[in-house]
A = this chain, B = another copy of it.
Amino acid sequence: MAFDLTFDPRVEDWRARIAAFMAEVVIPREQAAFEHGVTDELRRDLQAAARQAGIWAPQAPAELGGGGFRFDEVAVLLEEAGTSLLGPLALNCSAPDEGNLHLLHLAAGPEQRERYLKPLAQGRIRSCFAMTEPPPGAGSDPSALATTARRDGERWIINGEKHLITGADGAAFAIVMARDGDGATMFLVDTDTPGWKQAGHARTIDSTTLGGHCRIVLEDVVVGADSVLGRAGEGFRYAQARLAPARLTHCMRWLGAARRAHGIALQRATRRELFGSGLADLGMAQQMIADNEIDLAASRALLWQTSWQLATGAKGTEESSRAKVFISEATARVVDRSVQLAGGMGTSEELVLGRIYADIRAFRIYDGSSETHRMSIAKRAARRVREATR
């Protein structure tokens, strides 16, 4: 037998119900959210409705109340959830909670599962992932990690500064990455621990992320040994284990957003008249429409293949790097063309396109910038050649 790219009927069932949920529940609440901000109240409302609709957390393990889908199936469902900027939040599959949930599922001990993972999976609390630091600390180059964790008997004392910590405002706990001698360790830190200070939001142009992108100061934050996630010294390894799939779930969600943008622009183009013919029939509009269709198809094919590789056991560092660069850039092109196709109102929130355009921009930067991934891809390619020709 050769390939098989058929969906399981259960995947199609969930996909259709997520699509209906977006249309009926989520999209009607977008404009108010754009105008007045995304609030925790809105999150709770939407999440209750999603649970009701039987589409809760498609990516989460069944034993945690999620859909229990395999990662290549998740690709189909998170794309659908991504068609509204509020969709992933509603289904509890948004960053950073989705990635944290995944990591906790891999690495947390029994008590940590009870205390952090379960309520997170149920949407009772939110979390954040505190790795990135202001320059010259950890950013594109994680090895520059500057936050320190000093062991003091049974306790650890954490000091440092983090920035661009997505979702930190309102999070119940953080996964904090800190340098511990030569290695790095991850800690589960309640945000009401003394010494944890939220020092303001970055004023970035995206606006639909609940909890913002915060600057955090950690000043003599004292945590117990039970706060170590997994094992001490394994921080970089856990970061890798979180990053490859997290990159791809970003791709899934943004692919949905890009498809939405294309759909809005296309619908508008089929209705408008310009220079005496339908806008969608003008050659330059056709070029934008076709390029969108092509970029979406190529992104989806690469995403499905890569997700299948991870689902069937590949570590997928290189594969997910390639997919992340391609899809973050292809979806950006799709959204940009959609804005252009929509004309004067293309940059508006009313048409949604303006919001997607602003919010998607950082995707080429976070979770490894395009340049960082390209460097890593090229190094691996060169290494393979050098090893083969030695």
Interface residues of A (CB under 8 A from B): 1-8, 11, 34-35, 70, 72-73, 132, 135-136, 139-141, 144, 163-164, 202-206, 263, 266-267, 269-270, 272-275, 278, 280-287, 289-291, 293-294, 297-299, 301-302, 304-306, 308-309, 311, 319, 322-323, 325-326, 339-340, 343-350, 354-355, 357-358, 361-362, 364-366, 369-371, 373-375, 377-379, 381-382, 385-386, 389
Asked, given contacts A141-B275, A272-B135, A371-B340, whether A203 binds B283 with beta carbons under 8 Å apart, the answer is no
Q: From DSSP, what is the main secondary structure of chain A's interface residues?
A: helix
Asked, given contacts A285-B371, A350-B202, whether A3 binds B4 with beta carbons under 8 Å apart, the answer is yes
Asked, given contacts A266-B382, A266-B385, A304-B305, whether A203 binds B286 with beta carbons under 8 Å apart, the answer is no
Q: What 9 A-B pairs come out closest when comparing CB atoms?
A: A283-B283, A286-B378, A290-B374, A289-B378, A290-B377, A203-B349, A301-B302, A4-B4, A301-B301
Copies in the complex: 4
Whether B311 and A302, one on each chain, are in contact in the complex, defined by CB atoms closer than 8 angstroms, is no
Whether B385 and A270, one on each chain, are in contact in the complex, defined by CB atoms closer than 8 angstroms, is yes
Whether A297 and B322, one on each chain, are in contact in the complex, defined by CB atoms closer than 8 angstroms, is yes
Find chain B residues with CB under 8 A from A8 CB. 1-2
Whether A283 and B386, one on each chain, are in contact in the complex, defined by CB atoms closer than 8 angstroms, is no
Whether A204 and B348, one on each chain, are in contact in the complex, defined by CB atoms closer than 8 angstroms, is yes
Other A-B pairs, 13, CB within 8 Å; known A139-B274, A140-B343, A298-B302: A1-B8, A2-B72, A2-B73, A2-B311, A3-B304, A4-B5, A203-B354, A205-B205, A205-B349, A205-B357, A283-B284, A286-B375, A286-B378
Find chain B residues with CB under 8 A from A1 CB. 4, 8
Find chain B residues with CB under 8 A from A266 CB. 381-382, 385
**Once the chains are docked, how many angstroms separate the CA of A282 from the CA of B371?**
10
Interchain Cβ contacts under 8 Å between A and B, 16 examples:
A2-B73, A4-B5, A139-B344, A205-B357, A263-B385, A266-B385, A275-B375, A278-B382, A283-B285, A283-B286, A286-B374, A289-B381, A340-B364, A340-B369, A344-B366, A346-B365
Asked, given contacts A282-B283, A298-B302, A382-B281, whether A206 binds B375 with beta carbons under 8 Å apart, the answer is no
A380 CB → nearest B CB, Å: 8
Whether A339 and B361, one on each chain, are in contact in the complex, defined by CB atoms closer than 8 angstroms, is yes
Which single residue of chain B is at the shortest CB-CB distance from A266? B385
Whether A370 and B274, one on each chain, are in contact in the complex, defined by CB atoms closer than 8 angstroms, is no
Whether A325 and B294, one on each chain, are in contact in the complex, defined by CB atoms closer than 8 angstroms, is yes
Picked from B203, B280, B344, the residue with its CB within 8 Å of the CB of A163 is B344
Whether A389 and B289, one on each chain, are in contact in the complex, defined by CB atoms closer than 8 angstroms, is no
Whether B362 and A347, one on each chain, are in contact in the complex, defined by CB atoms closer than 8 angstroms, is yes
Whether A355 and B205, one on each chain, are in contact in the complex, defined by CB atoms closer than 8 angstroms, is yes
Which single residue of chain B is at the shortest CB-CB distance from A318? B293
Find chain B residues with CB under 8 A from A202 CB. 345, 348, 350
Asked, given contacts A4-B4, A132-B344, A382-B266, whether A350 binds B203 with beta carbons under 8 Å apart, the answer is yes
